[in-house]
Amino acid sequence: MKRVAGVFAVVVLVVWAKVHFSAKAGDPSMEQMAEKFGRTARERLAHKNDPAPKGLQIQESSTAAPAPTTSDNAAPQSEASAEDKAKARVAAMLNAWKNHSKLVAGAIWAQGLQEAAGNLAASTEGFERFRQEKSLGDNIGAFEVLSTYRRLNGQEQYTAVDVTLDGVMFHMGVPDTSTPIFWTF
């Protein structure tokens, strides 16, 4: 019986060591994955008992970027696309956040890249709530702005931007107007 228990203990130890020491540096931790799955499950359960929608329903859809026009009345080619503007806005916000410039990051989050004379206190508070929705702290180590997708939700158009923050993927919605960035899920 002692031999069986000893063999069992060795097998458990080997499996634990393999799992523990084979994790790559960029892999999300078990806690991060559990938190993400928990949020998704809570959202699904919250909407489980919602009554069936009535009336006209417009589903959100992805659309391809419009082809550039070649007419004489078209905008100059130097005009950036909505996807490029969204990527630049998110990159600037994340860069300011990484450099501990919360006021700048909050202003970019709330109003975009243009110089805005808005309420910085409200922008900073809103940016704080935005970060807390995903349990993100004051500091980020590394970030990467990945792909973009145009979205249409009823009359509202925005660009979805995929980003990684410290190795964890997030999806941000960047409105075409000077309104705050939001989490798409």
Alpha-carbon distance 1 to 91, whole Å?
Answer: 61
CATH number at residue 141: 3.10.450
Query: What does the pLDDT read at residue 72?
Result: 45
Position 5 in a domain: no
Position 69 in a domain: no
Average pLDDT of the chain is: 77
Position 122 in a domain: yes
Range of the domain at 175: 80-183
Q: What's the token pair of residue 135?
A: 């349990």
Position 29 in a domain: no
With a pLDDT cut of 90, the percent of the chain lying above it is: 8
Query: What does the pLDDT read at residue 163?
Result: 92
Position 19 in a domain: no
Closest CA to 171 of 183, 155, 154: 183
Position 158 in a domain: yes
Query: Per-residue confidence at 61, pLDDT binned at 50, 70, 90?
Result: low
Alpha-carbon distance 9 to 130, whole Å?
Answer: 46
Element (H, E) at 148: strand 143-153
Strand 168-175 relative to strand 143-153, pairing? unpaired
Closest CA to 174 of 82, 65, 66: 82
Contact predicate 109/122, CB 8 Å: no
Residue type present at position 177: T
Task: Tell me the whole-structure pTM to 2 decimals.
Answer: 0.56
**DSSP characters over 69-82:** P-STTSPPTTSPPH
Query: Per-residue confidence at 76, pLDDT binned at 50, 70, 90?
Result: very low
State mean pLDDT over 99-119: 77
Residue type present at position 128: E
Q: Which residue has the tokens 């980020």?
A: 140
Q: Looking at the 3D structure of the chain, how many domains does it have?
A: 1
Position 2 in a domain: no
Q: Which residue has the tokens 């950036």?
A: 80
**DSSP state at residue 135:** T
Query: What does the pLDDT read at residue 77?
Result: 45
Taking the CA atoms of the chain, what radius of gyration do you get in angstroms? 22
Position 176 in a domain: yes
Contact predicate 127/105, CB 8 Å: yes
For the stretch 118-163, pLDDT in tens is 677 778 888 889 888 988 888 888 899 998 988 887 778 889 999 9
